[in-house]
Amino acid sequence: MATIGWGKPKIEICKLNASGDYPTMPDWEEVPTPVEDSTQLNVTEGEKMEAKIEGGENEDVKYKSNTYQFTFNIRMAIGRVCPIDHFDGKVNDKYAVRLTPENELVPGFIADRCTVSIMDSWASAEGGIWQFNFEVLKPKLGEQVKWKVIEE
């Protein structure tokens, strides 16, 4: 077994309640195995702010917070339903998402609060695909993406 966190991940989602919090008893639902190499946590570095002085040097530099997007594709198949209700890609509810690497001893991550969009597509090489885009939002507490060993 690999000692790093690559390979086939386990992805679970949890629909948040109307106030944007976890339900009293969080119900994590495992999604079907994603299309190969489609699962990614993308980070956009926070904007760089520079305090310039005469001559052009920086007196100080500060960065704003990074932003994150978690994406993966699931292939449409006989008997498989989309795990998140949507209408033309629009999802009204907020979700939490967590990823457990193939080696469960390696840290995965949890994003406690996300806005989700879904794109339906089709190609002859892949068939029907649901592309899930989780835009990670600032949670009530802590970091946007929490790295840890995922425990049931």
Q: What is the pLDDT of residues 36-78, one digit of tens each?
A: 999 999 999 999 999 999 999 999 999 999 999 999 999 999 9
2 lies in some domain: no
Residue 142 belongs to a domain with what CATH number?
A: 2.30.110
Tokens of 106: 């390696």
Q: Is residue 22 a contact partner of residue 14, using CB atoms and an 8 Å limit?
A: yes
Evaluate whether residue 30 is within a structural domain: yes
Quote the pLDDT of residue 19.
Answer: 87
CA 97 to CA 124: how far, in whole Å? 30
Distance from C-alpha of 76 to C-alpha of 90, rounded to nearest angstrom:
18
Could you write out the three-class secondary structure of 15-30? ECCCCCCCCCCCCCEE
Please tell me the total count of domains within the chain.
1
pTM for the model: 0.91
pLDDT, position 2 = 62
127 domain residue, yes or no: yes
Report yes or no on 3 lying in a domain. Answer: no
**C-alpha dihedral over 69, 30, 83, 66, to 10 degrees?**
-10
131: domain range? 10-148
The Cα 68–Cα 84 span in angstroms is 20
Could you report the average pLDDT of every consecutive run of 10 residues in the chain (152 residues)?
84 94 89 96 97 95 97 97 95 97 95 97 95 96 96 80
**φ and ψ at residue 8, rounded to 5 degrees:** -75, 115
pLDDT of residue 136: 98
**What pLDDT is stored for residue 55 in this prediction?**
94
Residue 43 maps to a domain: yes
Q: What's the pLDDT at 24? A: 83
Give the whole-angstrom CA distance, residue 98 versus residue 66: 19
At 79 the pLDDT is: 96
